Structure 1
């Protein structure tokens, strides 16, 4: 098969060994589209290695067609069109994945758009509703609101009745987030978001891919019993924590990653998506947000575009390009 290889910091589409024989509870997919994530950028830079046993090839989500199923797989058949959450290997013509990490396409959603769903909606659902334990009516602060995870989280907040405030990197991104359903927001280039969030009304949960540089400000706008869910370190990994504020306001700091969780845990998250989110995708209430697509052999250009920080939603790579 062909797959993306890292060659002296270049992403090259070339012949590589196919995945081996599938396990009893795995399926093999012919990949149509692959989603690109910031985790791929981190892995390329050597900062986010795949979990033990996972493919070294970049790519955490794909859509495609099942070509083979293991003997214990009952839910899927060869020929099923699906999307899948991966621990790695998505920038390739085929992948092997545990059957629990596969979902059917939402009704009315094609293979292209479905590739924009698994990683970002699983991340958003996990950290808003499972780790963050949102209660009815609680208010949310979303950093990097125009990212793939951010645009998914905005739509989930709106659909499930949670007012949200976003921080973004441009006025264009802010406008896009407001149109998606954010109640208010802040361009981070205008300074600290603290006063703007306080004027809006403070928050019960913060979803933060930034980390250290936002820690102090996050604590200032988090209500009593609030939860700060850390999902990334774009702003650094070391910062001073105000333990007095943490103690007196009963704030909780939660670190959360998705990639290294076992298939059973990922399956629970995807089952929740299938129950609660897939019907909303089918109805059009929630939709995949796609910024731009590139052919897989132009993955370098696609990643440069993602790194430019101008994207709103997902960057996708066309592998077979089936619709």
Structure 2
């Protein structure tokens, strides 16, 4: 979300990225190349930008709504590009699906972490009592990586 963060992400393996100026990024993404899949973590008006830049027959997977649950979309563009939009959250899934997801995570991701091939990016660790400060840090966009709350 900032030029500095893009540089830090490149050091972790990012091939290309753009900074969304006032929530607008479709034109910059198209200059790099239209993505086949968009993992949308923000929601809101970003979904319209996703639709503008995604490749024909692409997929948008909506998993977050930090920018809001509503968006104005060009449905004609959605039809012309033959885009599939999928929304999902873990919270509303039945217990069996949550357990299945946990098993896949355990089988496929945990071994990568154990071997050091997948390393979490931790911005800061704070005591649970400072949850409000942690939330403020996240909202300020100054961090890079996850904020971990430690239960003491």
TM-score, normalized by the shorter chain, greater than 0.5? yes
- CA change 1:296–1:217 in 2 (3 A) is closer
Cα separation, 1, equivalents of 2:147 and 2:4: 17
> Structure 1: any 5+ residue segments left out of the alignment?
1-167
Cα separation, 1, equivalents of 2:66 and 2:112: 31
User: Which structure has the highest strand share of the two?
Assistant: 1
Give the paired residue count: 152
Q: Work out which of the two has the higher radius of gyration on C-alpha atoms and give 1 or 2.
A: 1
Matched residue, 1:253 = 85
Q: Would you say the 8 A contact 2:41–2:66 is kept in 1?
A: yes
CA-based RMSD of the aligned residues comes to 1.8
User: Which structure has the highest helix share of the two?
Assistant: 2
Greater relative contact order structure (CA < 8 Å, 6+ sep): 1
Pairing 1:2-41 to 2, within 5 Å after superposition: none
Confirm whether residue 301 of structure 1 aligns to residue 129 of structure 2.
no
Q: CA deviation at 1:194?
A: 1.8
Q: SS of the residue aligned with 2:69?
A: coil
User: Normalising by the residue count of structure 2, what TM-score does the alignment of the two structures yield?
Assistant: 0.89
Cα separation, 2, equivalents of 1:191 and 1:304: 21
Q: SS of the residue aligned with 2:93?
A: coil
Cα separation, 1, equivalents of 2:143 and 2:21: 16
Confirm whether residue 315 of structure 1 aligns to residue 147 of structure 2.
yes
Q: CA deviation at 1:216?
A: 2.2
> Structure 2: any 5+ residue segments left out of the alignment?
none
Task: Extract structure 1 runs of 4+ deviating beyond 6 A.
Answer: none
Q: Deviations over 1:109-162 (max 9, x none)?
A: xxxxxxxxxxxxxxxxxxxxxxxxxxxxxxxxxxxxxxxxxxxxxxxxxxxxxx
- CA change 1:311–1:286 in 2 (3 A) is same
Q: SS of the residue aligned with 1:254?
A: strand
